[in-house]
């Protein structure tokens, strides 16, 4: 059985693919190929997993006028031809698309070659690439029941509410390893700060401006993103990293509170791990608003606080204290969609093999 996966550009499109790959690998006689961009973070992530990776040209879909749209149109056109060549050679039984601008040329090429497509949307409201891909997909997997209202009525019969795929690797963190890695005190609570796969300058500044006050009660693991380390800060109980891979599961294990952006993948993982969360979603100015709708859903379900990046220092500290005392997170539950998604993929692939 052969499965091709696509999606990339940011961690939001890559991490779910990793979860699906972890599950697919356990299947007998399984061949896996990931198709991504030439320079995206997915390239290194797949290399670390030992997964075969091929790249294509890609251009972004912009909802506004820009001369860059002209250049990117030709990149998309080139990407379609490159994807056709790759898919013809690999001959997958099914293509799994996770969205992002890299995915559309692959989806269109798969449709031309009559390869069945399974598309998945993590966010409550779908992105543009997935909206385009849905019309070609055999099955549309979504993380939220509420997502159905954002999809055309004519396509809704193809929808399956699977939940979001969660990486196995983050579920078995070890506290002792986490404390050893950070050098932290086991008897003081830990806050994990995450700004998403590319970091978040606004969150970084908010945390660093309030560092002395926060460190009076908490220890902080700060994932600040590539190029965002502040080498001038040396304080007990404060550890900063651009990003973490293997160690993240152990840092999750020691963290009492997580300050996070509103990406669906991170929020699903934190809900599965039953963490206390303070969400600082991207604003409408910096996104299409998907993080705000995600944040509202998780806030209603788990009582997590949602704040803006422009909050005052006093309010920020008060919200951290509230999150620390909040026990609502232990009463809710969320669906791990990995196994159901893999079942859909393999069932479609088996059917294709039969016919």
Q: What is the mean pLDDT of residues 336-346?
A: 96
**Tokens linked to 248:** 């993240």
The reported pLDDT for the residue numbered 67 is 59
Helix (H, G, I), strand (E, B) or coil at 255: strand
Alpha-carbon gap, residue 286 to 284, rounded angstroms:
5
Q: What element of type H or E holds 318?
A: helix 313-325
Crossing angle of helices 264-272 and 290-302, rounded to 10°: 20
What is 2-165+336-354's CATH number, 3.40.50.300, 3.40.640.10, 3.30.428.10, 3.40.50.2000? 3.40.50.2000
Alpha-carbon gap, residue 74 to 281, rounded angstroms:
33
The reported pLDDT for the residue numbered 331 is 60
Alpha-carbon gap, residue 151 to 158, rounded angstroms:
10
The reported pLDDT for the residue numbered 284 is 63
**Tokens linked to 196:** 């998403």
First to last CA, the chain: 14
Q: In percent, how much of the chain has pLDDT > 70?
A: 91
Over residues 58-87, the pLDDT tens digits come to 866 555 556 566 667 788 889 999 999 999
The reported pLDDT for the residue numbered 329 is 66
- Asked if residues 137 and 118 have their Cβ atoms less than 8 Å apart, the reply is yes
Q: Kindly report, as residue ranges, where domains of CATH 3.40.50.2000 are found in the chain.
A: 2-165+336-354, 169-330
Over residues 143-181, the pLDDT tens digits come to 999 999 999 999 999 999 999 999 998 999 999 999 999
Q: What is the mean pLDDT of residues 315-319?
A: 93
The reported pLDDT for the residue numbered 224 is 92
pLDDT band with cut points at 50, 70 and 90 for residue 290: confident
The reported pLDDT for the residue numbered 142 is 97
Alpha-carbon gap, residue 32 to 184, rounded angstroms:
40
Alpha-carbon gap, residue 187 to 301, rounded angstroms:
30
Superfamily per CATH, domain 169-330: Glycogen Phosphorylase B; (3.40.50.2000)
Q: In what order do the strands lie in the sheet with 117-121?
A: 52-56, 31-37, 2-6, 94-97, 117-121, 139-142, 159-161
Mean of all residue pLDDT scores within the chain: 90
Alpha-carbon gap, residue 182 to 219, rounded angstroms:
10
Over residues 219-274, the pLDDT tens digits come to 999 999 888 999 999 999 999 999 898 899 999 999 999 999 999 999 999 999 99
pLDDT at 288 over 80: no
């Amino acid at each position: 059985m052969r499965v091709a996966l696509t999606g990339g550009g940011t961690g939001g499109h890559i991490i779910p693919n990793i979860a699906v790959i972890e599950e697919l690998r356990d299947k007998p006689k399984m061949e896996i190929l990931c198709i991504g961009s030439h320079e995206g973070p997915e390239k290194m992530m797949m290399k670390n997993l030992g997964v075969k990776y091929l790249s294509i040209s890609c251009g972004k879909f912009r909802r506004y006028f820009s001369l860059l749209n002209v250049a990117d149109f030709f990149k998309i056109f080139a990407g379609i031809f490159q994807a056709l060549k790759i898919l013809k050679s690999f001959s997958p039984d099914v293509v799994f698309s996770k969205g992002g601008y890299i995915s559309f040329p692959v989806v269109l090429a798969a449709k031309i070659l009559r390869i069945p497509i399974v598309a998945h949307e993590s966010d409550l409201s779908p992105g543009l690439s997935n909206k385009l891909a849905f019309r070609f997909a055999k099955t549309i997997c979504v993380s939220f029941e509420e997502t159905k209202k954002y999809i055309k009525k004519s396509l809704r019969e193809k929808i399956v509410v699977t939940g979001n795929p969660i990486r196995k690797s983050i579920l078995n963190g070890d506290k002792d390893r986490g404390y050893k890695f950070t050098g932290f005190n086991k008897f003081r609570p830990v806050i994990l700060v995450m700004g998403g796969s590319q970091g978040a300058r606004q969150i970084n500044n908010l945390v660093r401006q309030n560092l002395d006050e926060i460190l009076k009660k908490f220890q902080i693991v700060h994932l600040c993103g590539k190029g965002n380390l502040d080498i001038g800060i040396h304080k007990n109980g404060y550890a900063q990293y651009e990003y973490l891979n293997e160690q993240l599961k152990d840092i999750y294990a020691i963290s009492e509170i997580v300050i996070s952006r509103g990406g669906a993948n991170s929020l699903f993982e934190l809900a599965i791990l039953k963490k206390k969360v303070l969400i600082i979603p991207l604003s409408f100015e910096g996104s299409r608003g998907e993080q705000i709708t995600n944040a509202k859903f998780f806030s209603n379900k788990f009582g997590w606080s949602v704040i803006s990046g422009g909050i005052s220092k006093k309010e920020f500290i008060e919200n951290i204290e509230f999150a620390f005392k909040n026990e609502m997170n232990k009463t809710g539950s969320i669906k791990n969609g990995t196994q159901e998604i893999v079942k859909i993929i393999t069932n479609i692939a088996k059917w294709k093999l039969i016919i």
